[in-house]
Amino acid sequence: QAQLVESGGGLVQTGGSLRLSCAASGLQFSSIDVAWFRQAPGKAREFVAGMAWIGGITQYADSVKGRFTISRDNTKKTLYLQMNNLKAEDTGVYYCAARPRSVGDRSPQNTYTRWGPGTQVTVSS
C-alpha cells in the first residue's frame, strides 16, 4: 500500500530552523515527482516546493525562496524540506505529496495523487 508519512514538525521561534522529512513506502520513489504543500489556519492549502523525479529540478513558492530547500534521497525513499529563517507566516500543517513524473508546473495540487497526513509547524514570534 502506497504511503507517505511526514515527520519533523514542531514549535520553533522566529528565525529558527526545522527539517521536515517524508518517508515513502509502497511507491517507486525514484520514479515520481514530489512536493511540499502547507495549510495555514483558516487558509487554503498552498504549494511550497517541488522536485522532479530525477532531482536537480526544483520549484519554489516566492514566499520561501532563499529560505527553504527541498531535497530527496532516493535510496532512503525520503523527501526533505530544510526550513531556515522561519517566520510566523510559515506556521501551518505541512504535507508531502507525490505524482507520476511529468514536466511543467509543479504547483497544481490536483496533479498529485498521493498525500501524507501532515505535520504541524508552529513559528512563534
pLDDT of 88: 96
Give the neighbor-by-neighbor strand order of the sheet with 68-73. Answer: 3-7, 18-25, 78-83, 68-73
pLDDT of 73: 94
Contact between 10 and 21 (Cβ < 8 Å): no
Q: Which three cell numbers stand for residue 1?
A: 500500500
Q: Give dist(CA 21, CA 40) in Å, integer.
A: 19
Q: What is the mean pLDDT of each run of 10 residues along the chain (125 residues)?
A: 96 98 95 97 97 90 98 96 98 97 94 97 95
Contacts of 62 (CB under 8 A, 6+ apart): none
